[in-house]
Structure 1
Amino acid sequence: MRLIQMKFPRLSKGQKLIAEYILKHYDKAAFMTAAKLGVTVGVSESTVVRFANELGFSGYPTLQKALQELIKTKLTSVQRIEISSDYISEDNALKSVLKADMENIRATLEKINNNAFDDVVKAIFNAKRIYIIGLRSSQTLAEFLGFYLNLILDNVRVVSTGVSDIFEQLLRVGEGDVVIGIGFPRYSIRTIEALKFVKSKNAEVVAITDSLLSPLASYADHTLIAQSNMASFVDSLVAPLSVINALIVAVGMREKEKIYETFKALEGIWEEYHVYTYNPKDKNME
């Protein structure tokens, strides 16, 4: 925003109209195409592109991404609803959301660091104890990761809100332990405080978040990036869940024999206590 203010005197008349709109409505402009922004302001799409170039960006998409990074941690749920109504309607909700999630996975595939991923898998196996914390909407991800890791390992604990405070649950964290923190915009302050606390106790910290600029990443020894951009009141957790799936599979591949015996025992228990639907014909196929 400061860059726009600095460049403003040298902009053309049409570019100044764009600048004024962005300064006043940056939350909406961040999710408009160049054509949509041009129509809204009353200038051509090419003027919008030249405006982005004048600011020093390689193109409008780069400017748009910078605006999105600027605002994504500041938007309230009400503002998200207002923005999403500009390009999502009842008629196109399914297609728009699926396309956005596909883009998040594609971007995650490009951004995530394979070496960091391998380091996290190693850290999990070397850990004395593993703590997983994700609050608010990220709690679903934490529970999912905890559920499957608990089937593979016997030293996993999911830190959750409830009767005891999260700091009480992390009281005995120390050197040799791994704490996995999960958080996406809008970041939970409690999660950030928890990672700061365990870092002071010399635990190894893993952050699963959307950017290396994320406040969770500042306390992490290892950071796994998963994109979650979504101009809606609902957080997009498809890409983060995909990364967590990959993490579970990678851990499981190292413990194939143990997992086989675990699930063999569980299948017997599930069948005996009718945990899942059971088809007697399945027995005949064995």
Structure 2
Amino acid sequence: MTDSPAARLQQLFEGRRLTPTQRRIAHCMVRRAADAPFLSSVELAELAGVSQPSVTRFAVALGFDGYPALRKHLREVAPAEPVATTDAYNEYQQAVHAEIENLRHLASLLADPDPVEKAGRLLAASRPLPVLGLRAASSQARGFAYFAGKVHPDVRLLDEGGSMLADRIDAAVRAGATTLLCFALPRHPREVVEALAHARSAGLKVVTVADSAFAPVAKYSDLLIPAAVGTGLAFDTACAPMLLGRVLLEAMCDCLPDAQARLEEFDTKAAARGLFVE
């Protein structure tokens, strides 16, 4: 059995340091994998919602002389050889394969895009957008807030508990917030449940990424999308919740008409400042 066109494209992009704009192009190509080798740079730019020069820079970032060379490669590349598998896995491999299974479950869940698209609309419309995640979920909230801040005009990270948490939620409501995004992972802190109850009482809608539809936060969530955690190691692994967070970020970007312009502006400023090592 040969790899699919989408899988071969994924292999081409793996390990590359791509800008957000370039990742948007790569994502578009994966979604249109069968057509990608036959698209002109102008057509690809239109489909991805970027400029034609961005497509050229994308091809160069992948190591090609330009987009025609990339397209020629896509037309000529041979199917990858099937990978041999074995039933004998050590405990570390078992943890990885368990996470792969969690991602498969998430992929099946996303076959119905309606919940994610609804969440994207809610997140995009909230100004400001508070993002909550405590203890084990703090890294998920921080990662989402970091990237969301590049496209959303006002993202407020709530990653510390204590008596000030309710005050910060109230401040977001006074500033015009309509929705709160929560990342809730086990073990579930009591403060998160209390914070969501307070957010609901303050009039906020709550969108939650949790490890299960039956998590303690479900009672206080208007829209909960589950993504399982791995439990095979001493500490839980959260690949699926992290990926779901990026999916929500993509859905939010789709609802922000100036998201691409903000990303282009950031790329330009980053290049002028020499912000990243090429």
How far did 1:255 drift?
Answer: 3.7
- 1:101 equivalent in structure 2: 99
Cα deviation digits, residues 227-275 of structure 1 (max 9, x gap): 114132222210011111111122223446x233323322232233332
Matches within 5 A, 1:246-265: 246-255=247-256, 258-265=258-265
Preserved CA contact (<8 Å) 1:173 1:203: no
Preserved CA contact (<8 Å) 1:206 1:223: yes
Aligned counterparts of 1:114 and 1:172: Cα–Cα separation in 2: 32
Residues 224/162 of structure 1: CA separation in 2 closer, same or farther (3 Å cut): closer
Aligned counterparts of 1:161 and 1:196: Cα–Cα separation in 2: 17
How far did 1:185 drift?
Answer: 1.6
Residues 111/264 of structure 1: CA separation in 2 closer, same or farther (3 Å cut): closer
How far did 1:176 drift?
Answer: 5.3
Letter in 2 for 1:138: A
Q: Give the TM-score taking structure 2 as reference length.
A: 0.61
How far did 1:171 drift?
Answer: 2.2
Cα deviation digits, residues 80-129 of structure 1 (max 9, x gap): xxxxxxxxxxx824422210110111122334553222211111122232
- 1:28 equivalent in structure 2: none
- 1:130 equivalent in structure 2: 129
How far did 1:192 drift?
Answer: 1.2
Aligned counterparts of 1:234 and 1:264: Cα–Cα separation in 2: 38
Aligned counterparts of 1:176 and 1:249: Cα–Cα separation in 2: 20
Matched, 1:114 2:88: no
- 1:85 equivalent in structure 2: none
- 2:199 equivalent in structure 1: 198
Q: Give the TM-score taking structure 1 as reference length.
A: 0.59
Aligned counterparts of 2:216 and 2:276: Cα–Cα separation in 1: 41
What is the percent sequence identity of the aligned residues? 18
Query: Structure 2, unaligned stretches of length 5 or more?
Result: 1-88
Cα deviation digits, residues 119-163 of structure 1 (max 9, x gap): 111111222321100111211110111111111111211112289
Preserved CA contact (<8 Å) 2:124 2:253: no
How far did 1:206 drift?
Answer: 0.8
- 2:271 equivalent in structure 1: 271
Aligned counterparts of 1:96 and 1:183: Cα–Cα separation in 2: 25
Aligned counterparts of 1:219 and 1:212: Cα–Cα separation in 2: 12
* Deviating more after overlay: 159-168 vs 228-237: 159-168
Preserved CA contact (<8 Å) 2:170 2:202: no
- 1:158 equivalent in structure 2: 157
- 2:166 equivalent in structure 1: 167
Matched, 1:181 2:179: no
> Helix, strand or coil: the match of 1:227?
coil
Letter in 1 for 2:157: V
- 2:142 equivalent in structure 1: 143
Letter in 2 for 1:116: P
Aligned counterparts of 1:152 and 1:146: Cα–Cα separation in 2: 10
Preserved CA contact (<8 Å) 1:176 1:204: no
Aligned counterparts of 2:191 and 2:153: Cα–Cα separation in 1: 26
- 1:215 equivalent in structure 2: 216
Preserved CA contact (<8 Å) 1:138 1:182: yes
Letter in 1 for 2:181: I
Larger Rg: 1
Aligned counterparts of 1:177 and 1:254: Cα–Cα separation in 2: 15
Residues 128/264 of structure 1: CA separation in 2 closer, same or farther (3 Å cut): closer
* Deviating more after overlay: 105-114 vs 150-159: 105-114
RMSD after superposition: 2.3
Letter in 1 for 2:105: A
> Helix, strand or coil: the match of 1:206?
strand
How far did 1:164 drift?
Answer: 7.5
- 1:92 equivalent in structure 2: 90
Aligned counterparts of 2:199 and 2:140: Cα–Cα separation in 1: 20
Query: Structure 1, unaligned stretches of length 5 or more?
Result: 1-90, 279-286
Aligned counterparts of 1:264 and 1:204: Cα–Cα separation in 2: 31
